[in-house]
C-alpha cells in the first residue's frame, strides 16, 4: 500500500502522520487480501476550516471521503470513520456479488436449444404477369424473352386469366380456368 500525503496551506505534523498510519493499518486489515494499491491523504486549511480528503484506490473500486471541521485531527477521524463505513458497505457488495454469482449464471443461462421444425415451402411473390389482354403467341414471346418459368396473362377474346409455364421436358404448358 502506497501512502501519499499532501498538505495544502496546512502543516503536516508527525502526530498527523502517525495517526493516519495507525488508521490506515486498521483499514488495510479491514479490506484484506492486498486489495489496496494507493492511498492519498489530502489536508487543506482555509480560514478556520480544516479539510481532510482520503482517496483509496483499491482493486475493483475507488473510494473518496471528504470531511471538514474546525480541527484537523477531528476532520481526519471523521473521514476515517466514513471510509470504514464505505469499505464495509463495498465489502458486503463484493461478498453478495460473489455468493450469487453462480446462481445468477445458472438462471441467466440460455435454455437448451430446441431444433426448429423445418418450415414448409415458402411463398415468394413474383411480378410475372401482364394486366393488358394479349394473345397466346404474345404470352409465349413474353415467356421466352424474359427467360421466365411461369407467366400469367389475360386472354384477348375473354376476360379470363391464363397461365403459361415451361415444363421439365422442355415443352410449354397452358392452364386455362373453366
Q: How far apart are CA 1 and CA 28, in angstroms?
A: 8
Dihedral sign computed on CA atoms, order 138, 140, 145, 146: positive
Phi/psi for 164 (5° steps) reads -115, 135
Domains, the chain, ordered by start:
2-98 (3.30.160.100), 129-175 (3.30.505.50)
> How much is the mean pLDDT over the chain?
82
Whether pLDDT at 140 is above 90: no
**Would the pLDDT of 49 be above 70?**
yes
Q: What is the pLDDT of residue 24?
A: 87
- Does residue 51 register a pLDDT over 90? yes
Bridge partners (DSSP) of residue 141 are none
For the chain, what percent of residues have pLDDT higher than 90? 29
Backbone angles phi, psi at 4, to 5 degrees: -125, 125
Q: pLDDT by residue (tens digit) across 70-119?
A: 999 999 999 999 999 998 888 888 788 777 765 555 556 666 677 666 67
Alpha helices (runs of H) in the chain, residue ranges in sequence order: 14-31, 72-108, 136-145
Contact present, 63 and 90 (Cβ < 8 Å): yes
Cell of 6: 499532501
Amino acid at each position: 500500500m502506497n501512502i501519499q500525503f499532501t498538505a495544502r496551506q496546512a502543516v503536516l505534523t508527525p502526530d498527523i502522520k502517525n495517526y493516519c498510519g495507525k488508521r490506515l493499518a486498521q483499514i488495510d486489515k479491514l479490506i484484506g487480501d492486498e486489495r489496496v494499491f494507493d492511498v492519498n491523504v489530502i489536508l487543506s486549511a482555509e480560514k478556520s476550516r480544516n479539510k481532510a480528503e482520503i482517496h483509496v484506490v483499491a482493486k475493483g473500486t475507488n473510494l473518496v471521503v471528504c470531511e471538514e471541521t474546525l480541527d484537523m485531527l477531528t476532520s481526519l477521524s471523521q473521514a476515517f470513520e466514513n471510509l470504514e463505513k464505505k469499505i464495509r458497505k463495498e465489502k458486503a457488495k463484493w461478498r453478495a456479488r460473489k455468493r450469487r454469482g453462480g446462481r445468477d449464471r445458472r438462471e441467466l443461462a440460455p435454455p437448451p436449444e430446441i431444433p426448429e421444425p423445418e418450415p414448409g415451402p415458402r411463398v415468394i411473390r413474383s411480378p410475372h404477369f401482364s394486366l393488358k389482354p394479349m394473345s397466346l403467341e404474345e404470352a409465349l414471346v413474353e415467356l421466352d424473352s424474359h427467360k421466365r418459368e411461369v407467366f400469367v396473362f389475360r386472354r384477348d377474346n375473354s376476360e379470363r386469366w391464363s397461365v403459361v409455364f415451361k415444363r421439365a421436358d422442355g415443352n410449354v404448358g397452358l392452364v386455362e380456368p373453366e
